[in-house]
Structure 1
Amino acid sequence: MTPKKIAVLGGGNGAHTMAAEFALKGHTVNLYEMPQFKGNMKKVFETKTIRLKGNIKELQGPVELNMVTDDIAEAVEGCRYICLVAPAFTHLGYAKLLKGHLHKDQIVVTYPGAFSALVMKNIFGDDPDCPIFADANNLPYDSRLTAPGSGEVNVFGRNPINIAFLPADKGPELIDEMREDLFPFEKIYHDCLECGLAIVNPDWHAGPVLFNISRIESPQVNFFLYEHGWTPSACRLNIAMDKERKALGNVLGYNLRPMEDFAGRPDDYEWTWQDLYKEGHGSIGLTPICGPNDLSSRYLTEDIPFGLVPWAAIAEVVGVPMPLTNGFIDIINIVHERDWRAEGCGLDELGIEGMDKDTLLAYVRTGKK
């Protein structure tokens, strides 16, 4: 591996862990956080050091970074990779922030992508110096800061991840380099549409969230989603909504199996609610997770506007009915007293408004409209 210069954007659990791991691999790493949030990382700004602890033998101890900054131009200058590790609701803001600071020899990788490549390409437009965009389908780690602003991260485990490129045609020439430099991506999706539809959380969380909404909005309740909320009925709804997602994938030429992949099931596996129930309710890794304990949880405010909303919008483009998915959105709109179709990631934000199936698939393959 030839060491590279890498910018990691974000101030959360995953960004801390990723910046430290890349530095341990020998890369030159710049960590960026927006000026309005740098106070949450005061210690890391002062010391340029992240401390790793936990279950991963190779991710231990203090790690010094090349730079910790709130200047985006300084952060990304000369970097081969710009790795965005931040919630989906920040992707549009980061796209606007990055425009004008990148060039065509750079690669922007978002963890997890959730259609980030389309959102960013829409902002960069036809700029001849536009970078290549890539979306990962998951965060590479299960990790948590031990305390806000501590700069110390407890790493519990690793997650397998896949990747997609925009333009998709660039993937084959880049994947070997990126597997060596970044992570051992297990597969390349056909394109960033498939990757966005393969995010596991929106359908994985759907049933337990909907059928336990009163517990979620009761902060005094000691509620654990996978211990208390992962019920047979919740699992039945998860599977039914996932079938709508798979039907959309089939029309676009994808064999979507995100829940099966997440659970490590073979390619020919078909869920029953009983097996899905065991996967969540019996998981030693999931059942200790507390909450969510309020209606602003990302299980609602990220999974719906940046997961279910774009899925339903793409389904409308290609003529696939998704009544359960749309009904779920309608119910959460009432719960939140908001219009997530208007506020979330729709066709306009994705830059695909007015396209049909053929022009859409050509666009994600070539990056050209």
Structure 2
Amino acid sequence: MKETVAVLGGGHGAHAMAVDLTSRGFSVNLFEMPEFSDGMREVFETRTIHSSGMINGSFRLNKVTSDIGEAIDGVRYILVVTPAFAHDAYTRLLRGRVTGDQVIVVYPGAFAGLLFRTAFGDRDCPVVAEVNNLPYDTRLEAPCRVVIHGFNPVNIAFLPAEKGAGLIDDMRAIHPYEKVYSDVLEAGLSIVNPGVHAGPCLLSVTAIENSAKRPFFLYEHGVTPGSCRINIQVDNERKEIGRRLGYRLTPIEDFTGLDEGYTWQELYMSIHGNISLTPIAGPHTVSSRYFTEDAPYGLVPWSIIGKAIGVATPVIDSIINIYNVVNERDWWAEGRTRDDLGLDGLSPEEIRSYVRTGKRG
């Protein structure tokens, strides 16, 4: 039996991760917030998740609990597997409860390393690692039942970055992280989903809103030549931000296996018809995380960082502004900001020093 890990979250990603790790011999403590635990009553009662697809079987967990102390007691790795909008709540929940020898790993990160450190403070914050994507293409089919359509390659970063070398070898037992980013800023700029979803979602709003009448599958119906052209522009803008900060960003290439300088035709062929992606239904509403996570926690911080270092992001900004209208929300105000991430008043050089050492000034 391998070591015990805590998986925090009750969605499809957390269920898939609990199944995957249990299938490989880990002892898993699954945690869900008390206010959402009614939707997982069967999992709480049976401690068992049934999986189909890439992993088949029924897997019994070590614990299923809504007591955070019980979930993380005695574990070294605390895996936060939630949409980015839940990160604030988890920083408050974990603050003062996590010890210095524990490691928080966030899937997907969305600049969560900086967020946790701002909330915890430099002195009390443990090492926080963030991953650029969920390791699974997965959906919950029913309570206790998850289907795993495929596996995604994932990369990781650490805050402080200088702590990563001493952790990564042990952590590859959890996932075979393909790349260790230089720091969490590079990881946040390398989040996959906003760069993949932006064009197809933007051009499919009416189809998504009519999906009760006509089934909608984003990767089958939404990935079109036009949406791929938009995605390339989004990717180019965030790559320019990376270049100004000294990073060579290749998130879409890492996800698709394409070479740098890929064309919209190549992007289209790599996603449209992909056997792991096309069976995934939805989104079925513009309130989906494809909008409400990708915009405020991906596109918005990319734009803010770009403005801070003098890189224009006209296509990214246009998508955010249209989403503001579609969602009747102000994602500029609700998303990640320099204040949220503790970057206010820091120069680009000071930001790079901070993510390397975990110390300001």
TM-score bracket for this pair, using the shorter chain length: over 0.9
Residue of structure 2 aligned with 1:117, choices 105, 113, 119: 113
Question: Is residue 321 of structure 1 aligned with residue 312 of structure 2?
Answer: yes
Structure 1 residues 290 and 27, CA gap change in structure 2 (3 angstroms): closer
Using the TM superposition, give the Cα deviation of residue 235 of structure 1 relative to its aligned residue in structure 2, in angstroms: 1.3
> Quick one: distance in 1 between partners of 2:240 and 2:303?
12
Q: Which amino acid aligns with 1:226?
A: Y
Find the counterpart in structure 2 of residue 52 from structure 1. Answer: 51
Q: Which amino acid aligns with 1:34?
A: M
> Quick one: distance in 1 between partners of 2:58 and 2:167?
31
Using the TM superposition, give the Cα deviation of residue 120 of structure 1 relative to its aligned residue in structure 2, in angstroms: 0.8
Q: Deviations over 1:195-226 (max 9, x none)?
A: 11111111211122222222222232333323
Find the counterpart in structure 2 of residue 13 from structure 1. Answer: 12
Find the counterpart in structure 2 of residue 248 from structure 1. Answer: 241
> Quick one: distance in 1 between partners of 2:62 and 2:13?
18
SS in 1 for 2:6: strand
Find the counterpart in structure 2 of residue 28 from structure 1. Answer: 27
Find the counterpart in structure 2 of residue 152 from structure 1. Answer: 145
Question: What's the TM-score once normalised by structure 2's chain length?
Answer: 0.95
Q: Deviations over 1:144-165 (max 9, x none)?
A: 2231x2x122222221111000
Q: Deviations over 1:301-339 (max 9, x none)?
A: 111001000111111111111111112111211222221
Contact 1:333/1:339, CA 8 A, preserved across alignment: yes
> Quick one: distance in 2 between partners of 1:166 and 1:187?
15
Residue of structure 2 aligned with 1:275, choices 252, 262, 266: 266
Using the TM superposition, give the Cα deviation of residue 12 of structure 1 relative to its aligned residue in structure 2, in angstroms: 1.3
Find the counterpart in structure 2 of residue 215 from structure 1. Answer: 207
Q: Deviations over 1:7-38 (max 9, x none)?
A: 11011122122223323333332111000111
Contact 1:197/1:249, CA 8 A, preserved across alignment: yes
Using the TM superposition, give the Cα deviation of residue 227 of structure 1 relative to its aligned residue in structure 2, in angstroms: 2.7
> Quick one: distance in 2 between partners of 1:251 and 1:368?
22
SS in 2 for 1:271: coil
Q: Which amino acid aligns with 2:208?
A: I
Find the counterpart in structure 1 of residue 337 from structure 2. Answer: 346
Q: Which amino acid aligns with 1:112?
A: P
> Quick one: distance in 1 between partners of 2:159 and 2:34?
29
> Quick one: distance in 2 between partners of 1:7 and 1:192?
22
Residue of structure 1 aligned with 2:163, choices 151, 154, 170: 170
Question: Is residue 261 of structure 1 aligned with residue 260 of structure 2?
Answer: no
Contact 2:31/2:71, CA 8 A, preserved across alignment: yes
SS in 2 for 1:260: helix
Find the counterpart in structure 2 of residue 140 from structure 1. Answer: 135
Find the counterpart in structure 2 of residue 205 from structure 1. Answer: 197
Find the counterpart in structure 2 of residue 126 from structure 1. Answer: 122
Structure 1 residues 154 and 242, CA gap change in structure 2 (3 angstroms): same
Q: Deviations over 1:233-260 (max 9, x none)?
A: 2111111121111000101111111111
> Quick one: distance in 2 between partners of 1:92 and 1:292?
24
> Quick one: distance in 1 between partners of 2:150 and 2:76?
27
Question: Is residue 77 of structure 1 aligned with residue 77 of structure 2?
Answer: no
Contact 1:169/1:365, CA 8 A, preserved across alignment: yes
Question: What's the TM-score once normalised by structure 1's chain length?
Answer: 0.93
Find the counterpart in structure 1 of residue 39 from structure 2. Answer: 40
Q: Which amino acid aligns with 1:276?
A: L
Count matched residues.
Answer: 359
Residue of structure 2 aligned with 1:161, choices 154, 167, 171: 154
> Quick one: distance in 2 between partners of 1:65 and 1:293?
31
Using the TM superposition, give the Cα deviation of residue 351 of structure 1 relative to its aligned residue in structure 2, in angstroms: 1.5
